[in-house]
Structure 1
């Protein structure tokens, strides 16, 4: 049942994302982080295949990609990452779809929802963006996705949820750190950042 749900959910998310024609964003500065993601994320997702068998959890990178590219562009980029993992790794097509769903679509969609809540209820402050969306939002989305994956595909390992919690905070630390750096030095790489909103100044060229 779960492979069908993962495949259908992934296909639906991809269709919704493509319906918004996100490739138009690649004409600007977002082309660089999109290409960077295609190089780095497959390596991140392939790491468990190069290590001894164990817990099926790992860093995702989906939250950072949503903050950088926006959800509509992040989803097809994540699909391309999963395709590269399929081609370069040892898993089959269903494994690649499962990775795309649990490591990509689910945390990306959750962090999008968390970001919408923060935008609605908290003031437009740079610390709310970096700590709320980049750090805490990533941790919550990553843990929720990891817990759901453990529920859908139970593993015979002690403290699996504890490990998922720790990995979620690892993802959150990297995302929060990089988001803070990008806000300071290359805000044009963050589609979800706006100088006009968070700094009350005109957007940078």
Structure 2
């Protein structure tokens, strides 16, 4: 628990230093938005707080042979950005502990760190690497696919699996599943997370790009001169 508490406090301090509330106060409009439009991030933020705690608490609300775990952290990261996603994901863990009598505060902290903060941070780092490639003129018109396939789909699978493996190394094993089978289960669950994240991000890019704080028309749509 000390490791999880330290990681949560470190991530929260770094996120607060970036003053994430500014994203909610005023969002820089995209190319297709009216100048001075209010932030649209309240919608994904409130949806996250309303839906994700139940997904995290579900394994403790029902007895199942395999406690399927859905993270959703990479989707939250893509929608809100890392500084805002960190406090929101920590709040999701706290709400999950309130709605599930079988989830202790220590377990909720572990969920918030290993299913929330860690995969979101890994997705942030992966996104920085992909943005460097997406910013080159050579990629041209394939840049939207870099975002949807690279960050939302394949990136989610990789980040969620790595975070799950780290949590297992820290002692958080899946109940009733052997250590080697736990890695297989985490790999399969990571792809479930990736499918949902990739599908929703593809829809949002097409119809609601203002719900994606990490999406940029300038970076992913407009060609740059070399």
TM-score for both structures, normalised by structure 1: 0.92
Q: CA deviation at 1:101?
A: 0.6
Q: 2:161 aligns with which of 126, 129, 143?
A: 143
What are the ranges of 5 or more consecutive residues in structure 2 without an aligned counterpart? 26-38
> Which residue of structure 1 lines up, in the alignment, with residue 184 of structure 2?
162
Q: CA deviation at 1:24?
A: 1.5
Residue 113 of structure 1 pairs with residue 125 of structure 2: yes
What are the ranges of 5 or more consecutive residues in structure 1 without an aligned counterpart? none
> Which residue of structure 1 lines up, in the alignment, with residue 36 of structure 2?
none
Q: CA deviation at 1:121?
A: 2.9
Residue 92 of structure 1 pairs with residue 136 of structure 2: no
Residue by residue over 1:138-186, the C-alpha shift from the partner in whole angstroms, topping out at 9 and shown as x without a partner, is 0000000111112222455231111100000000000000000000000
Q: Which of 1 and 2 has greater Rg?
A: 2
What is the total number of aligned residue pairs between the two structures?
Answer: 199
Q: CA deviation at 1:92?
A: 1.9
CA distance in 1, matches of 2:17, 2:65: 38
Q: 1:133 aligns with which of 141, 151, 170?
A: 151
Of 77-86 and 184-193, more deviation after overlay is shown by 77-86
CA distance in 1, matches of 2:161, 2:94: 24
Q: Secondary structure at the match of 2:213?
A: coil
Q: 1:199 and 1:63, CA in 2 relative to 1: closer, same or farther beyond 3 A? A: same
Q: CA deviation at 1:55?
A: 4.5
Residue 176 of structure 1 pairs with residue 187 of structure 2: no
Q: CA deviation at 1:53?
A: 4.8
Residue 41 of structure 1 pairs with residue 52 of structure 2: yes
Cα contact 1:55–1:160 (8 A) shared by 2? no
Q: 1:152 aligns with which of 167, 170, 177?
A: 170
Of 119-128 and 91-100, more deviation after overlay is shown by 119-128
From the two aligned structures, give the one with the greater helix fraction: 1
